[in-house]
Chains A and B, each alone.
Chain A
């Protein structure tokens, strides 16, 4: 039976009760990250404390020494379980392989073996050092391997604290609370163990470290129940960051302040044609042959990789990484494949040339031949030819819109934009009465809005076939938006046309009558605005265009679809 020793003994019993109870709770939390290693940790602590109790209650010296030796099983389970717990709980479970666990277990297994066979070598000796006043045999331990085991235990203890410390600085308050509880749980036994080994604790020669682990048990229970350690687990955040970095379609390269690549994802390595592992540590400027200087935060340039027929072009973005004091830590380069976009650009340029020059030239030749005759047929030919020219000009406008859509819009004054549009319309449609209500407050707008307003005015004038043809244009500023409203007294826009416009596409059997309304739709989309049609009283249409005001630098970033 146990001798009535110090208060340490009942505390040891308490540590077993708490440790084993907490182990059961942790067991029930499997397979949540960290639960299984926590079971081992608390189990190891309970074994340790139990062996101390049995060594104290042993009725012979040999019994005391046997239980002290067996206690090493629990002693050495704890640090391994702790490091595995810290890794798994913080989402670094990729390091928890069978091989790594086996490697981590080498020193503990050797320690237990050396403890059990200590009488043959003395590398880790366990011997009776005396008897307490209560009659309990006190065991003394030491030897070369004792120092190795202690150093190894402390090393794993510190290594395990490092990832947990990362949670303390987490932005998520719940994780900070959890990790603070865990830190209390783990630092208490380590500190107790250091003080015990330094002889600074009055524990009558009994190692009180397992008792301190009871504090750990309470802290873990608190972390489990109060902070919902396994309910709100930070493991996915770490893995998510890794997953995103590895699996995004863009190449991503992290460069430190010394031009050295410190991280690169598989896509980035594939783009640069290098092995990801070998690229680490290489010079960034050698691997990223971007012509011209790269500007931080949004500066762009194109990187072309490969031969002409199979070359791929990448939009390179460099983002500066800074610490909390705004000191530069490094840069993240992202490589976005823009090959198809550049090919599209080339095709648009060819189409632009065809529409701008070739169709007009051919139309002029046809008109020249038509003028040689003076009958009604010639007039029809000339009118129809002009229609072809107008269509080609609208097609050209559309191409201009698409080209500008991937760049940045220049700005125009709202007042001058509506004034210019109306002046052009008055020249083109002298039979229509135009009215302009200028904005009381002028503001900069993207000049792409001119295409929209021009087409709406033209649409209002050209389809207005009555004797009293009127088109009124009014513009004003509403907050950070400019509004242009075009009202006519014509027959109104056919619902069929608006339906097609809403559907966003045409088919050979279902199509509109021209390009004008499409230009209005595409134009408002590319400048980030909107257009709304409603019937006017008694007849006609009210078209309302809303466009965002340009930025203070006078340029509006165009929406990009990549």
Chain B
């Protein structure tokens, strides 16, 4: 009687079965990694670091710890915000809320430690670098934490105030992304750095409003006034078109009369074209989460084009 292990057909089945298990395990692991990157906002860390590197390239600054500091602060603030809003997010992003709730302890420790390390690194850049590093955390306290309303009836979470909320987020990150490399390099503020700041300010504003379309019901329930909550999704889409077109005009003007180079202007304009296409999908897609990630990913496109055009890579 032949044993099963000597049965060629059974052996082949076994191999197929093992291959199936391995591929299933790989798929599971990939899915887990994707969850971690998405729900913990780790992908934002990567994009924020690329933004800072873009500033380094555009302003020709020496490499510094600024990208690491911004990355750590981005993780700390965004993941910290998700910890704070885990309950409220259960309505709009139930899977992310469940992930954050399940890993609350670990995320809490990691985010606190990340900001602590970022501050220590920023000290090496001097007082201005330290102040800029503290800015997103300070803005977050005014923006999202429940501490600000405790100061009095007239104070409410700035997250609830129309335009101020997104403008605050955009300001904090634009200052950090542009200011920190300058502070580390002890470089002066130039017209070109001003142009880059305006670009990141408006662009971050747009990218802040895109996920607000997905969160419209939860924000309305939470008393948060965003463009989609107040003006509706169609008008929000028009507003985003307007902001992107404003940036297009701004880039063209600064190319014509200002310090912008053709390579940089070209990269930014391609990125803005990409942003306009994404704006068309606002309110028209069944995957609003992916739209938000795609919006942030625009900076990867711009950075890649910059590298190709300026460094010849």
Contacts and interface: CB of A to CB of B under 8 A. Distances in A.
Contacts of B17: none
B112 A13 contact: no
Contact of B109 (A2, A20, A53, A225): A225
A46 B137 CA distance: 15
Interface in A42-83: 46, 50, 53-54, 57
A213 to B, nearest CB: 13
Interface stretch (A22-30, A170-178, A320-328, A339-347): A22-30
A543 interface: no
Contacts of A25: 108-109, 112
Contacts of B127: 54
B123 A22 contact: no
A16 B123 contact: yes
Interface string B123-153: 1101100100000010000000001000000
A20 B124 contact: no
Nearest to A53: B123
Nearest to A36: B147
B117 interface: yes
A532 to B, nearest CB: 54
A32 to B, nearest CB: 14
A24 B117 contact: no
Given A25-B108, A25-B109, A28-B108, A13 B123 contact: yes
A21 B115 contact: yes
Contacts of A2: 124
A18 interface: yes
A1, A13, A20, A57: most-surrounded residue (chain B CB, <10 A): A20
B113 interface: yes
B108 A17 contact: no
B120 A24 contact: no
Contacts of A57: 126
B186 to A, nearest CB: 10
Contact of A50 (B83, B84, B109, B130): B130
B123 A24 contact: no
B124 A22 contact: no
A439 interface: no
B116 A18 contact: yes
A17 B116 contact: yes
Contacts of B275: none
A13 B147 CA distance: 28
A53 B126 CA distance: 9
A19 interface: yes
B113 A21 contact: yes
A474 B171 CA distance: 93
A297 to B, nearest CB: 49
A423 to B, nearest CB: 77
A19 B84 CA distance: 21
A457 B197 CA distance: 102
Nearest to A57: B126
A24 B112 contact: yes
B213 interface: no
B119 interface: yes
A14 interface: yes
A4 to B, nearest CB: 13
Interface string B244-280: 0000000000000000000000000000000000000
Interface string B267-307: 00000000000000000000000000000000000000000
Contact of A19 (B76, B116, B124): B116
Interface in A1-15: 1-2, 13-14
A57 B127 CA distance: 11
A1 B64 CA distance: 13
Given A13-B123, A54-B123, A20 B115 contact: yes
B123 A50 contact: yes
B111 interface: yes
A24 B116 contact: yes
A303 to B, nearest CB: 49
A196 B217 CA distance: 59
A25 B116 CA distance: 11
A50 B121 CA distance: 11
A7 to B, nearest CB: 15
A45 to B, nearest CB: 12
Nearest to B120: A17
Contacts of A22: 112, 116
A46 B112 contact: no
Nearest to B124: A2
Contacts of B126: 54, 57
Contacts of A28: 80, 83-84, 108, 112
B116 to A, nearest CB: 3
Contacts of B120: 13-14, 16-17, 20
Interface string A187-203: 00000000000000000
A531 to B, nearest CB: 56
Interface in B49-93: 76, 80, 83-84
B108 A20 contact: no
A17 B119 contact: yes
Contacts of A30: 147
B117 A17 contact: yes
A13 B120 CA distance: 5
A382 to B, nearest CB: 84
Nearest to B130: A50
A225 B76 CA distance: 19
A16 to B, nearest CB: 5
B140 to A, nearest CB: 11
B73 to A, nearest CB: 12
B123 A21 contact: no
Nearest to B105: A225
Contacts of B147: 30
A12 to B, nearest CB: 9
The 6 closest A-B pairs by CB, nearest first: A21-B116, A17-B120, A24-B112, A17-B116, A21-B112, A20-B116
Given A24-B116, A28-B80, 10 more contacts: A17-B116, A17-B117, A17-B120, A20-B115, A20-B119, A20-B120, A21-B113, A24-B76, A28-B108, A225-B105
Interface of A: 1-2, 13-14, 16-22, 24-25, 28, 30, 46, 50, 53-54, 57, 225
5 contacts: A21-B112, A21-B117, A24-B112, A28-B108, A54-B127
